[in-house]
Amino acid sequence: MKAPAFRYARPESLDEAIALLVEHGTDARVLAGGQSLMPMLNLRLLQPSVLVDINRLPLSEIRLQDQTLDIGALARHAEVLYSGEVAHMAPLLKLALPHVAHLAVRNRGTHGGSCALADPSAEIPACALALEASFVLRGPRGERRVPAELFFRGLYETALGADELLVRVDYPRAQPGWRYGFQEVARRHGDFAIAGLAAAARVEGGVLREARLAFFGVADRPVLVRGASVEELRERTDKMEVSGTRVYPPPFRRRLVRVLLERVTSSIEK
Amino acid sequence: MEPRARFQAIGRSLPRAGTRRLVAGRGRYVDDIVLPRMVHAAFLRSPYPHARLARVDLTVARAAPGVLAVYAWSDLQDTVRAWQSRSAAFPGLVSPTQTPLADGRCAWQGEPVLMALADTRAAAEDALELAEIEWEELPAAVGLEAALAPQAPAVHPGLANNVAWTKETLGGDPDEAFAKAALVVETQVHLARLTGVTLEPRGLVADWDPAGETLTVHHSHQMPHQMQAHFAEFFGVPAERVRVVVPDVGGGFGLKMHVYPDEIAAIAGAIKLARPVKFIADRLESLASDIHAREHNVRARMALDGEGHIVGFDVDQRHGAGAYSVFPRGSPVESSAALHLVGAPYRFAHFRGRLTIALQNKAMTGQYRSVGHPIAVLVTERLVELAACARGEDGLALRRRNFTPPGETPYVNGAGQRLFDVSHDACLLALERLVDVPRVRETVRSARAAGRALGFGVACYVEMTATGAEAYGKAGVPVSAADSVSLSVELSGAVRCAASVTEIGQGVTQALAQAVADGVGVPVERVLVHTGDTAQVPHGGGAWASRGAAIGAEAAWLAARRLRRNILEAAARLLGADDESLDLRDGTIVDHRGEARLELSELAHIAAFRGYELPEGFQPQLSLMHHYRRSKDLFLPANGVQASLLEVDLHTGLVRPLRHWAVCDCGRVLNPLLVEEQLRGGVVQGIGEALYEELRYGEDGHLETGTLAEYLVPMAAEMPDIEVAHVQTPYDGTSLGAKGAGEAGVAAAPAAILNAVNDALAPHGAALDAVPISPAAVLEALERGR
């Protein structure tokens, strides 16, 4: 299938981009890496009247700040994956990114695009949740920050307004004593996960003392489970609602969730 | 038969001559063809598995920008006729008439309903969104068992039930054999629907010249001559005025053997508009409307005597055909082949086979690479392992005891299969060497001791290849089992070959080049092979049934030997020598001492420009045509064995193939590289069938795996190394002795994988009988085993 006709705009500045979003509202879609949007257009699942191509905007920078590591919305997955600062200050992303699709997709797909799309099976939103990232949104009234827990609202649904652009994701710098784990279950490498887990945990003497587990692929958005011990994490995870399909029914997914919890926490405690 | 010639090119692993061009991006596939005034076709397809078209209003759609026409079936009836799948091979087959666009009712989701022709594909799709259709949904019969249930909705109005065809085969006395058996093992195997997923989808460019009354169809297809016959008949054009051109093809796998309604509609559009029409199926259309395969439920029992000899099989097979039997070959081909191939590697005398084919409100199932064989091998090799387990013996020992005897040739088994020149013992021995079985079993044991679930599985197979003329000839289907080759000596001394086999990416042109090179006596790089154009190549079968080497290359060899005789005769007349004393080596005519006397290019020049130098009245024949049809043996049985080592994650249910081995006896190997890559590609498709690929319909008849995000094809990252070895038992009915190799990889891989998974699960009391093996099914089986 071919995409239906649409108008194409390529703003040269952030203000121009926001103005376009204000003008067209929900009729506009933002084009970043295009790795999800272009297939959706070709499948005619989306029929926007205007495509706002933000690739010329200066949003690609990965910058280390005093408290945070800020990743520009247009940073490509490959750039984040191979960034030394990311490896140092947000190592969870480095663990997760090899699981994001394939090399060709990672060369084009963007950090912000993955978050703004909010596919419930995607890896990066779960990492953002586990790392307590905040999302910097820019609209006609300026910038606002939304914590990850409030950013992901449902299936392909986020806190982004129709006139707002996600410009940056700010990750708190990794702290001493914290360790990270990432695993997902997929039948083929690069597939959306049947279930996955991105985890950040504080470990003392090989014992997990505090953890944030972000499960993905198991509900309409990534799900955060906090706990002060593996036992507590187990109890809380068991209470988590898990969705399913005909091929991957809820009881099966629930078992995977438990397996992921055990595997990731033990890898962290090792 | 003449004595065997010296082989220089034959038997060598030469890369395909055309590969460099394709890799360099210089391929010319059908979508690369752009003709002046060409328009693009798009189809509105039924969103429902079964629905009536209550009202269709195309006024707005036809007025859309860039649109030349929007057609329904009523608009095409003056241009093309409907067709019905009938075959003398399947008497009583129920399959109503098919039309290129729906005739007031749709019987499967994805069925073409309207066709828009526009300046661009996008404009055509836009127009279809403006078509106003009122659908009236009808009850649908979807699942295989549900469609055969007594109260099932009728797939087509007026049907008393949804049975398309039934068959019962009896050999020996199965009742007595089972009554007296010391051991009976039983399985119920399920194989899900899947499809071939060619890298290049189906497509064509149809070009009708009303002045010359000539139809040219550039077609991504395996059988140009078959399609020429169909197009002539459907459109009422004399066949000699129908030209089918097959450009580079990105894979066929059997799905490009059939007549598809959308393709016929596109040609009708080209005739109506008198403008070229391009139709390229996109991936959504491919998955929904390419021929599907499988959807079988097989209940099978195997009887053994007290010494562990197989005495008989009892097979009850159900197969879902979809809404119609595929035209022209017929959907029963797959299930019928599967039924009769059960037990093929083994000696047994008693057989009962029952087959029931159901119509369903789904896409049609038809022939996919290794037609029917993977089903039979899965059933047989599962039963063999169950029997070995019940007897407490090694599965390989049980197989060895039961292999069809190589001495007793031909051997006709209880299911009526005629087997000869098979080499199961030699293949199994070669496999054991290739694998180092004791070492692999030790790897499995030590991994298990460490808590990991490794499994090793084996599957033997017979692949019926290079089908003879009796199969489709007697069925009344215009599919040729013969091949023709024309050869001519170029002025440069090269040999140009035009062959009726079709190059579809499998590399058959390279095999032909090697046969011609050795047959004539010229270097292989001086042979040019052309295929796939009914106006340029002589009539023949094309690409199906692994026939390229066994029939196509044999035709090329026989043509080459004749051309060689003609060349030597002309040279002898020119040189005043005895032609028995001359030889043609590497393009040079030499005398009995091996001394060069004449270059082939010089002979060609003399024939072309200075014919007066030849003796008076002598006309050299440096070009000729040769036709070849094998006159005995309906099939050439190839055989072999595969093995898989894999790991099952007992916690997630994921299966990871670690290594795979394939030993194949396809007679004389013309080019080991080609055979090995055919086997590897086939094994990968077989692993796909075992672990990933499933066209899943909801109970409501909606296809749930409509994109490659849901329909999982095997990817390189998950594939194990595939090691290949050859055993060569040449067929003695031809000069070259080649049998087919193109499909054997698919035949045994699913069974090898299933047996390996069951080997891994056995210590946990679990077993599986369905493919693809989903991780949820593995965990459920483990749960049940507890």
Distance from the Cα of B652 to chain A's closest Cα (Å) equals 6
Q: Which residues of B touch A100 (CB under 8 A)?
A: none
Q: Which residue of B has its CA nearest to A5?
A: B122
Question: What pLDDT, on a 0 to 100 scale, did the predictor assign at position A260?
Answer: 98
Query: Is B1 a residue whose pLDDT tops 50?
Result: no
The closest of B296, B295, B282, B292 to B258, measured between CA atoms, is: B292
* A1–B774 CB contact, under 8 Å: no
| Residue B653 contacts A, CB cutoff 8 Å | yes
Task: Answer whether B784 touches A (CB < 8 Å).
Answer: no
Residues of chain A with confidence (pLDDT) below 50: none
Q: Could you tell me the domains of chain B? A: 19-27+482-628 (3.30.365.10), 33-138+198-252+255-289 (3.90.1170.50), 292-469+632-785 (3.30.365.10)
Q: How many residues does chain B have?
A: 786
For residue B710, give the nearest of B699, B698, B694 by alpha carbon.
B694
Q: Once rounded to an integer, what is the mean pLDDT over residues B7-28?
A: 94
Arch. (CATH architecture) of A7-53: 2-Layer Sandwich (3.30)
- Complete edge-to-edge strand list for the sheet that includes strand B636-648: B453-465, B636-648, B655-665, B721-726
Mean pLDDT of B390-396: 98
Is a pLDDT exceeding 80 seen at residue B2?
no
CB distance B717–A5 less than 8 Å? no
Distance separating alpha carbons of residues A23 and B451, to the nearest angstrom: 62
Q: Model-level pTM greater than 0.90?
A: yes
Q: Is B696 on the interface with A (CB under 8 A)?
A: yes
Determine the residue among B646, B652, B779 to mutate to test chain A binding: the one whose Cβ has the most chain A Cβ atoms within 10 Å. B652
Q: Do residue A188 and residue B715 have CB atoms under 8 angstroms apart?
A: yes
Both tokens of B208, joined, read 């009708």
User: Of all residues in chain B, what percent carry a pLDDT higher than 90?
Assistant: 98
Q: Which residues does chain B have within 8 Å of residue A194's beta carbon, measured at their own beta carbons?
A: 775
pLDDT digits (tens, 9 = 90+) for B544-584: 999 999 999 999 999 999 999 999 999 999 999 988 899 99
* B692: closest chain A residue by CA: A187
Which secondary structure element, helix H or strand E, spans residue B225, and what is its range? helix B224-235
Contact B372, B355 (CB under 8 A): no
Smallest Cα distance from A1 to chain B, Å = 6
Asked if B775 and A5 come within 8 Å (Cβ–Cβ), the reply is no
The answer to whether A44 contacts B122, with C-beta atoms less than 8 Å apart, is: no
CA distance B689 to chain A (A): 14
User: Per the structure block, which two tokens stand in for B535?
Assistant: 């106006």
Is 70 exceeded by the pLDDT of residue B316? Answer: yes
Q: Do A187 and B712 touch (CB under 8 A)?
A: yes
Instruction: Say what the pLDDT of residue A270 is.
Output: 84
Question: What is the spatial distance between Cα B536 and Cα B243, in angstroms, rounded to a whole number?
Answer: 9
CA distance A4 to chain B (A): 6
Interchain contact, A187 vs B775, CB within 8 Å:
yes
Q: How much is the pLDDT for A211? A: 98
Q: How far apart are CA B638 and CA B754, in angstroms?
A: 22
Report domain extents, chain A: 7-53, 62-172, 178-269
Residue B256 has pLDDT above 90, yes or no: yes
CB contact (8 A) between residue A188 and residue B718: yes
Closest CB to B776: pick one of A1, A44, A249: A249
Nearest CA in chain B to A249: B776
Distances (CA, A) of A263 to A141, A193, A266, A270, B5: 45, 16, 5, 11, 64
Interface contact A3-B122, CB threshold 8 A = yes
Q: Residue B275 and residue B270: Cα distance in Å, rounded?
A: 5
Instruction: Give the residue carrying structure tokens 């000699």.
Output: B240
- The verdict on a CB contact (< 8 Å) between A188 and B717 is yes
CB spacing of A185 vs B775 below 8 angstroms:
yes
At B405, the pLDDT band (50, 70, 90 cuts) reads confident
Tell me: the pLDDT tens digits for B210-229?
A: 999 999 999 999 999 999 99
Chain A CB contacts of B126 below 8 Å: 4-5
Query: Are the C-beta atoms of B367 and B337 separated by less than 8 Å?
Result: no
- Give the per-residue pLDDT at B5: 61
Tell me if B284 and A43 make a contact (CB, 8 A cut-off): yes
Q: B290 to chain A, minimum CA–CA distance in Å?
A: 16
Q: 């509202």: which residue's tokens?
A: A25
> How close, in Å, is residue B717 to chain A by CA atoms?
7
CA B739-B740-B741 angle, 5° bins: 125
Decide if pLDDT at B3 tops 90.
no
Closest-CA residue of A relative to B654 is A187
Alpha carbon B483 to chain centroid, angstroms? 17
Task: Indicate the pairing of strand B636-648 with strand B655-665.
Answer: antiparallel
**Mean pLDDT of the residues in chain B:** 97
In the A/B pair of chains, how many CB contacts fall below 8 A?
A: 60
Q: Is B715 on the interface with A (CB under 8 A)?
A: yes
C-beta atoms of B122 and A2 within 8 A = yes
Q: How far is CA B580 from CA B288, B561, B571, B585, B617, in A?
A: 61, 14, 11, 14, 21
Distances (CA, A) of B475 to B90, B145, B195, B333, B541: 8, 29, 25, 11, 15
Residues of A in contact with B129 (CB under 8 A): 4, 44
At B267-298, the pLDDT tens digits run: 999 999 999 999 999 999 999 999 999 999 99
* B708 contacts chain A (CB < 8 A): no
| Residue A145 host element (H or E) | strand A142-147
Provide the chain A residues 175-214 that lie in CB contact (below 8 A) with chain B: 185, 187-192, 194
Q: How confident is the model at residue B18 (pLDDT cuts 50, 70, 90)?
A: confident
Residues of B in contact with A252 (CB under 8 A): 653, 775-776, 779-780
A3 to chain B, any CB pair closer than 8 A? The answer is yes
pLDDT band at B408 (very low <50, low <70, confident <90, very high): confident
Return the CATH number of the domain spanning residue range A62-172.
Answer: 3.30.465.10
Nearest one of B430, B478, B1 to B229, comparing CA atoms: B478
| Mutation target among A40, A47, A188, A254 for the B interface, most CBs of B within 10 A | A188
* A6 in reach of chain B (CB within 8 A): no
Query: Mind listing the pLDDT tens digit for each residue in B344-363?
Result: 999 999 999 999 999 999 99
Cα angle B715, B718, B723 (rounded to 5 degrees) comes to 100
Give how far A246 is from chain B: nearest CA, Å: 9
Q: What is the ipTM of this complex?
A: 0.96
- Listed range (B10-19, B339-348, B452-461) with the worst mean pLDDT: B10-19
Q: Are strands A157-158 and A178-185 parallel, antiparallel or unpaired?
A: unpaired
Q: Do B715 and A190 lie within an 8 Å CB cutoff? A: yes
B contact test, residue of A247, A261, A263, A264 with most B CBs within 10 A = A247
Q: Which distant-in-sequence residues (6+ apart) come within 8 Å of B260 by Cβ?
A: B202, B289
Say if residues B38 and B277 touch (Cβ distance below 8 Å).
yes
Query: Between chains, do A188 and B712 touch, taking CB under 8 Å as contact?
Result: yes
Homologous superfamily (CATH) for A178-269 = CO dehydrogenase flavoprotein, C-terminal domain (3.30.390.50)
CB B81 within 8 A of CB B167: no
Q: Which residues in chain B are contacts of A246 at CB distance < 8 A?
A: 696, 698, 704
Whether A2 and chain B come into contact, CB under 8 Å, resolves to yes
